[in-house]
Chains A and B, each alone.
Chain A
């Protein structure tokens, strides 16, 4: 219980104050095998510019996805909107 109060307080500080940075060690997030028809030919040029797309966990997509999977969300399932 004490731990959880402490953690809550810590997180509250974290949310409120910008100078406090949460840091943690790096760990592999994703690894995917290179498809068989592709082979490495060399290192990428260091100054090559890439548009990096970072996807954040969506707050409540599960609910929409459930409706999509179950077919309860469909413009023709009764409700025109």
Chain B
């Protein structure tokens, strides 16, 4: 793998010479294993000289600061050798805004619609007994998706990872309370999971202070650790906590951390020999908030992980095709557009949408403006393996939404799972949460169990999932056909029979998926 991504020696030499000419000795540079990334800590002043640029402090309308440079330069002879330098032009660093989950404000206001024409799974009395749409529990998810009776066999050879960014961490005490309440046999999981700190990430386990409570710190983190442990225990869990982009206080002039969190995490993980087979990430931002070079670099890093046998799951976003009022292009033309989300738009990861109720429909929640995200990348072309289902979907749309999306782009999500009114313990009490942030760890856990089954049968883990998903794996999903990715003042992409740009192939049925993954004949799920 490193051989494929290694830059030429000549290119590396030219870049080192340029850095040395600018007072940056090669000994101060840290290199990725393939030497395709150089990391160096420098002052704003030094970088401004190096890149003939100017850094500024930028403030987000909803709060939060970043230090960025929207334009930068290089000596002409280096243009062909350097593809990206960050943090410069990338505004990917959501504070509160990008956390793709929403706290439910009122759990009594929603009632499931009357169900008609129930598919077999949805009339299963065990599921009806286990599931209550106003509060989704691990028992419901494990019954609904068929993992309840599966026994983990390969815990010594398998693991699952989750990502914390933006100062989030996973509170062990809350996680333990959750497991005690919902999955007693997994309670020790709260003590056992590992935390890997990257670039001054956070692993605070003490009581949150008033500011942190007001900000909902660790809600996202707890949702992830509680969901994953309750679904995949005793599979070992590792939480990566990567620093970067905490509140920057411009008037204090303190050297706070304005790192670019995804690149920090990627370069750390690519440098590890032992990486979990499945990693769940619940963070996203508008694709157009990052330059193409950045998106491509990060996405290519994900591709490297996929090729190394790691399956990456990302939430598809929580605002349908885009939040109303924000659906405008960022290129100066102010054209109306649906807003694709990144990293979920990267074709080398598996994108997860959200459903609610039984039978499952597209998840929406009027109380907090949550709508499961779906759409088409403006940056990444549609991969070959999507053609068979996405081309007919686009064709069936006809001229609807024409010009608002890139019909030849990578379409997402690839699949979906429940993402509505999840029971979560935070700060010692129960908080039902919505979001693709809930769906993502659920799907990640289910595929971690598929890997467990494969490893127990002396097979390797799934790795890059999508080509298999679109050629074989889709048969193990339950189609979702009602609802749409409402947003940008439109109804958004509709759920339809077969693949669609709001629930992908639908929701997983583990008993079929584990058989399909082993290449044995499986009972195909039908509606």
Contact = CB atoms under 8 A, between A and B. Distances in A.
A33 to B, nearest CB: 5
Contacts of B290: 32
Contacts of A54: 15, 37-40, 82, 84-85
Interface in A4-59: 11, 14-15, 18, 21-59
Contacts of B41: 49-52
A32 B264 CA distance: 21
A49 B42 contact: yes
Could you say which interface size class chain B belongs to?
A: 35 or more
Contacts of A74: 463-468
A42 B307 contact: no
A26 B47 CA distance: 14
A59 B5 contact: yes
Interface in B241-291: 250, 253, 255-256, 258-260, 263-264, 267, 286, 288-291
A34 B61 CA distance: 13
A4 B403 CA distance: 47
B123 interface: no
Interface stretch (B66-74, B136-144, B146-154, B207-215): B66-74
B435 interface: no
A25 B463 contact: no
Contacts of A11: 10
Nearest to A49: B255
B70 A31 contact: yes
B295 to A, nearest CB: 11
B338 interface: no
A45 B45 CA distance: 8
A42 B65 CA distance: 11
Given A24-B75, A59-B5, A44 B255 contact: no
B308 to A, nearest CB: 10
Contact of B89 (A32, A52, A59): A32
Contact of A68 (B34, B61, B256, B303): B303
A41 B250 contact: yes
Contacts of A36: 326, 328, 330
A23 B66 contact: no
Nearest to A77: B467
A18 to B, nearest CB: 8
Given A23-B75, A75-B463, A43 B57 contact: yes
B194 interface: no
15 contacts: A11-B10, A25-B76, A30-B84, A40-B58, A42-B56, A48-B258, A49-B42, A50-B259, A55-B37, A56-B82, A59-B3, A64-B307, A69-B383, A75-B468, A76-B467
Interface of A: 11, 14-15, 18, 21-61, 63-65, 67-77, 80-81
Given A52-B47, A58-B6, A70-B385, 6 more contacts: A49-B44, A50-B41, A56-B15, A64-B4, A69-B347, A80-B459
